[in-house]
Amino acid sequence: METANRQQGEAITPPAPPAARKSAICNLQSAIPRPVLLFDRVSKWYGPVLGVNQVTLELRGGITGLVGANGAGKTTLLRLATGQLRPDIGSVSVLGHDAWGQPGKRLVGYCPDVDAFYEEMSGRQFVCAMARLCGYDRAEARRRTEEALALVRMTGRSDRPIGGYSRGMRQRVKMAQALIHDPRLLILDEPLSGIDPVGRQEFVALYRELAARGKCLLVSSHELDELEKLTDHVAVMARGRIAAVGTLTQIRDLLDDQPLSVRMHCDQPRRLAAALMALEDVVGVELGEDGGLVARARNPRKFFQELTALVLEEGHDVRHVETLDDSAEAILGYLLGGRRGS
Amino acid sequence: MGQPNLLHYRPWRGEFQEPLLGVWPVARVGLRMMFRWWPFWVIYGLGMMIFLFFFFGQYFLAWADTQVTEANVQLGGFGRYDPHDLFRILRHALKLTGNGETYRNFFWYQSYIILVILALAGSMIVGNDIRHGSMAFYLSKPISRWHYLLGKCLAAGVFINMVTTLPALVLFVEFGFLDGWDYVRESAHLCFGILGYGLVLTVTFSLLIVAVASWMKTTVPIIMTWATVFLFPKLVASMLVDGLQFHPRLRLIDLWNDAYLVGNWLLDVPPDRIPPWPQPAWYEAGGVLVVLCAACLVALVLRIQAVEIVK
Amino acid sequence: MSTSAPETGPPAHDAKPEPENLTLHTQSSTLSAWLYLVCLSWQRQARVRHMVWISLALLALTALAVGVQTLSAGWGLEGRPWRSQGRWMGLTYEQALGETYVATSAIAPLGSPGAAGLDDGLLQSAWAVLQRSDFIRFSNSIFRIFVSFLLPLWSLSFGTEALGGDREGHNLLWLLTRPLPRPAIYLAKFVALLPWALALNLGGFALLCVAAGRPGLQALRLFWPAVLCATLAFGALFHLIGAYFRRPAIIALVYGFFLETILGNMPGYLKRLSISFYTRCMMYDAAGTFGVQPESPSVFLPVSGTTALLVLLGAAAALLLLGMYLFNRTEYVAAE
């Protein structure tokens, strides 16, 4: 597990990990012997600006979220994975094939964030054209087109020119063309941007379905609430580096310098607060006006074990326990220097 | 909960100016857009090559004139000639005498650069707004569409004057330094002629390029239309009048030639010294330009009424 | 700070995993994809309707001008008035030559037979030139309008639009993320633009020649290889410009109408950098025996037709290969 040290008030600078722990691995399907997507010490410059800095990342399956502030390097990373850019240092491979080359591109389906199509075409024609450009003959392309459109629920709406589509319809067409050649890896850049809540639920369900079918998805998004519903595994980028990779809980656990905030409601908050202060990992307790209290504690796993023991021993009537900053947004905020947080 | 602690916000205390003053910021944005694109300076440099030919050509002749002695030179079997006379003949042949023909020629040779720079201006500063939907930002401000168009025409006019009027004025000043203040006193009307010629070019071609770009929107059609309007009539007129000896009034379809004729009149060049010969009258050419400007304004009115600024 | 042990699986940096066999995509064919891309690109060239209509309008206008000239006064000098000052002012060329013949015939008996023969020979030569003047004048018109303007403009329009249009519309990423080799994409775009460029250049040239009547048909027979080679060379050049520059139409315009004009009129050998120089050389070589030649051969310094042909075809091939190489190396960011 790779983590990031964060100095208070300073930018995120991950420590140089030991050689044995250089890889950040999201391993949901450990049966897959090789990574689906591998960034191996990748750096990319845009002139004098360093877009991606020594990124090493492996994806072996499932859904991985890619989060970060604007300008963190997420889109650059995705473009490296889809073969639009080449790394200046390091390599990017998809199931062992160079992402820049033709075999690698066969394995990748890309849903970009740009909103550009062959506007004169209908959705069906566009997806079929993409299938033909993948090398399928006409019959096969048509068959795959219908399958992809059915998967994204656009079968009955694909005959109008794309120029007249809504945002959600355009997103579905993008998704359909990404799926047309049955790729192993799906790269989705801001797939939920501009989509209404109902549409988002449908897309989230679709992504889960695709992951269940064995595809590996890398989803870049600012919609952290939706991303949390979609996956627990995230890679956090900051200033061109991977700041942290893993489940949200794991990342949170490792942020030792950011004590976990836990709100509790009980019958005797003062008594509970006094008892909590005696615990070694509790750094502070704040009493609220509504009869609740907020405890801030390091080492969450140990804290919850001790809290459970304390409650049972002393007979506190705890009615509600809630972690306040276990969300992706809060974690992101801590990792990115407090610019975003609850 | 107490009142939120606002960031000591102070309301803007200035005074709103007239919408007409918004024209210059619109032009300025277009100018910056062009100036930031480095190939523009390469193209401008190519245009300045012609200016440098004139500038250093005049200077070279003046310098060479001071280097020769008073002794006559033998020209083969043609006899002996005063070298100063030879330089004078050369200056007249090259039209580097500082009279109206010098500046007329300079404006004429800049035609291809004007073609390219205005094509670029049309694509970047007008076409971009329509293509990328940024016109909405302008028109959401308290200015009318006419102010917007005026700003674009002003930007195009700046480019035209950068290539023609300003260098011509520099040449005028150079002639003044080389030939003395008598030249400035006697040729002051040429200075006004240069400004007038520049004004004719500015009004005519800025309106034309803005009208073309507002109708065509994408780059290649803008280029094709502009090249057609600018170059094709020139070639056809040359073919018909010079090649096939049709009536010289057919040259009126060549817009650059029309401005050229008006410019010759402003620069006080006699009609019999206007190549290529024959030419129509300057007032006929002026009439064509007036009609052209009116047609461009009509086209812009129609376009303004029809343009969709929201995608 | 505690860190957990690494997950299962070899560290990425220690061993390169073997590429997975691609068994899922045996139904796809790169050649099929390439052919489809050619077809798609050819169709999409027509979507810029303004471009097509402007091209056709230019062709129609030029053909109209040529046709009017053909039907009214024709292309020959015989019926044209003598323009210069002198005793033949007001006469046609034919009349002026006829008067000269009558005058020399009247004084011939007073001179030597040799002198009379020489006079007769000169007048017959002048008469032959006059008879061929339609082809010469039509050819000069072709150089002025077609070679200097229409040919580069039509080539520019379709050449820069092939890749430049996709870049401007942010559509290039759809091609770059397909499993097609990049040089193949570049080549497909070039092959797709050729029918349009050739149809307009060769077809337009043929139409103009037909509109000109007899001299036009002669010009078509002699000049079509030059037009074909120039189309290939200009197409390759503008296609390369479209791939490499962000605003290819402007760069192509600078080259086509500024540099070509300047280089073409430069004294010495500098003009040999321009495509239109070799086009003209092919035309001069083909029609040299018919009196078509540069105004100042000692300044123009033409090369032979064969050399010009090889240079144009070689330039087209070299520019195409260079473009394929550059396209393979260049990264296109969607936001540009």
Chain segment A307-323, per-residue pLDDT in tens: 899 999 988 888 888 88
C6/A114 touch (CB, cutoff 8 Å), yes or no: no
Q: What is the pLDDT of residues B190-213, one digit of tens each?
A: 999 999 999 999 999 999 999 999
Q: Residues of C with CB below 8 A from A177's CB?
A: 174
**In the structure, what pLDDT confidence band is assigned to residue C334 with cuts at 50, 70 and 90?**
low
Residue of C nearest to B120 (CA): C250
Whether the pLDDT of residue A305 is over 70: the answer is: yes
Residue B79, Ramachandran bin (φ over 0: left; ψ between -120 and 50: alpha; else beta): left
Q: What is the pLDDT of residue C91?
A: 67
C149/B238 touch (CB, cutoff 8 Å), yes or no: no
Q: What is the pLDDT of residue B41?
A: 93
Q: Which residues pair with A45 in a beta bridge?
A: A50
Q: What is the pLDDT of residue A342?
A: 39
Q: What is the pLDDT of residues B23-51, one digit of tens each?
A: 999 999 999 999 998 889 988 998 898 89
Q: What is the pLDDT of residue B302?
A: 84
Torsion sign across C-alpha atoms B135, B139, B141, B146: positive
Whether the link from the prior residue into B278 is cis, omega within 30° of 0, is yes
Q: What is the pLDDT of residues C25-39, one digit of tens each?
A: 456 789 999 999 999
Q: What is the pLDDT of residue B131?
A: 76
Residue of B nearest to C153 (CA): B224
Task: Count helices and strands (H / E) in chain A.
Answer: 11, 15
Q: What is the pLDDT of residues A18-36, one digit of tens each?
A: 443 334 444 444 455 689 9
Strand spans (E) along chain A:
25-26, 37-46, 49-59, 62-68, 89-94, 97-98, 108-111, 185-189, 216-220, 233-238, 241-247, 260-266, 282-287, 292-297, 318-323
C179 neighbors A134 (Cβ within 8 angstroms):
yes
Over chain B, what is the mean pLDDT? 86
Residues in C 139-178 with any Cβ partner in A closer than 8 A: 169-171, 173-178
Q: What is the pLDDT of residues B131-189, one digit of tens each?
A: 777 877 888 888 888 899 999 999 999 999 999 999 999 999 998 988 888 888 888 99
Whether the pLDDT of residue A222 is over 80: the answer is: no
Cβ neighbour number for residue C287 with a 10 Å cutoff: 21
Q: Residues of C with CB below 8 A from A97's CB?
A: 19-20
Q: What is the pLDDT of residue A145?
A: 96
Q: What is the pLDDT of residues B215-226, one digit of tens each?
A: 887 788 888 888
Q: What is the pLDDT of residue A77?
A: 94
Q: Does A254 touch chain C (CB under 8 A)?
A: yes
Whether the pLDDT of residue A8 is over 60: the answer is: no
Q: Closest partner residue to C257 among B131, B227, B238, by Cβ?
A: B227
Whether the pLDDT of residue C122 is over 50: the answer is: yes
Torsion sign across C-alpha atoms C51, C54, C56, C59: negative
Q: What is the pLDDT of residues C270-292, one digit of tens each?
A: 888 889 999 999 999 998 888 77
Chains near C with 3+ CB pairs less than 8 A apart are A, B
**In the structure, what pLDDT confidence band is assigned to residue A267 with cuts at 50, 70 and 90?**
confident
With pLDDT > 90 as the criterion, what percentage of chain B qualifies?
38
Q: Closest partner residue to A102 among C36, C179, C332, by Cβ?
A: C179
Whether the pLDDT of residue A95 is over 50: the answer is: yes
Interface test with B, best of C166, C253, C258, C336 (most B CBs within 10 A): C253
**In the structure, what pLDDT confidence band is assigned to residue A327 with cuts at 50, 70 and 90?**
low
Whether the pLDDT of residue B232 is over 60: the answer is: yes
C256 neighbors C266 (Cβ within 8 angstroms):
no
**In the structure, what pLDDT confidence band is assigned to residue B286 with cuts at 50, 70 and 90?**
very high
Q: How much is the average pLDDT of C128-145?
A: 79
Over chain C, what is the mean pLDDT? 81
Q: Residues of C with CB below 8 A from A27's CB?
A: 7-9
Q: Closest partner residue to B119 among C51, C62, C253, by Cβ?
A: C253
In total, the C-beta contacts within 8 angstroms joining chain A to chain C are 159
Q: What is the pLDDT of residue C1?
A: 27
- Identify the residue with better confidence: C119 or C287: C287
Q: What is the pLDDT of residues A127-181, one digit of tens each?
A: 999 999 999 999 999 999 999 999 998 999 899 999 889 988 999 999 999 999 9
Q: Which of A126, A79, A116 is nearest to C170 (CA)?
A: A116
Q: How much is the average pLDDT of C212-236?
A: 93
Residue of C nearest to B228 (CA): C58
Q: CA of C328 to nearest chain A CA: how many angstroms apart? A: 10
Q: Closest partner residue to C48 among B220, B225, B232, by Cβ?
A: B220
Whether the pLDDT of residue A334 is over 50: the answer is: yes
Q: What is the pLDDT of residue A91?
A: 94
Q: How much is the average pLDDT of B293-303?
A: 90
Whether the pLDDT of residue B305 is over 90: the answer is: no
Q: What is the 3-state secondary structure (H, E, C) of B82-123?
A: CHHHHHHHHHHHHCCCCCHHHHHHHHHHCHHHHHHHHHHHHH
Q: What is the pLDDT of residue B5?
A: 61
Alpha carbon of B277 to those of A54, B246, B247, B258: distances in Å?
71, 12, 11, 14
Alpha carbon of A54 to those of A34, A88, A89, A136, A336: distances in Å?
21, 10, 8, 38, 18
A30/C7 touch (CB, cutoff 8 Å), yes or no: yes
Q: Which amino acid is at A275?
A: A
Q: Domain residues of chain B, as ranges? A: 22-48+98-305
The one-character DSSP state at C112 is -
Q: Domain residues of chain C, as ranges? A: 51-67+134-329, 81-128
Whether the pLDDT of residue C107 is over 80: the answer is: no
Q: What is the pLDDT of residues C148-178, one digit of tens each?
A: 888 998 898 889 889 988 888 889 999 999 9
Q: What is the pLDDT of residue B267?
A: 93
Q: What is the pLDDT of residue C72?
A: 79
Q: CA of C51 to nearest chain B CA: how many angstroms apart? A: 5
C293 neighbors C284 (Cβ within 8 angstroms):
yes
Q: What is the pLDDT of residue B224?
A: 85
Q: Residues of B with CB below 8 A from C245's CB?
A: 39
Torsion sign across C-alpha atoms A108, A111, A116, A120: positive
CA distance A69 to A332: 9
Highest mean pLDDT among A3-17, A265-279, C109-123: A265-279
Beta-carbon contacts of C75 under 8 Å, excluding residues fewer than 6 positions away, are B244, C69, C133, C134, C135, C137, C138, C141, C212, C213, C215
DSSP chain B: ------------------GGGGHHHHHHHHHHHHHTSHHHHHHHHHHHHHHHHHHHHHHHHHHHHHHS-SS-EE-GGG-EE-HHHHHHHHHHHHT-SSSHHHHHHHHHHTHHHHHHHHHHHIIIIIIHHHHHTTHHHHHTSS--HHHHHHHHHHHHHHHHHHHTHHHHHHHHHHHHHHH-HHHHHHTHHHHHHHHHHHHHHHHHHHHHHHHHHHHH-SHHHHHHHHHHHHHHHHHHHIIIIIIS---GGGGGG-HHHHHHHHHHHHTT--GGG-SSSS---HHHHHHHHHHHHHHHHHHHHHHHHH-----
With pLDDT > 90 as the criterion, what percentage of chain A qualifies?
39
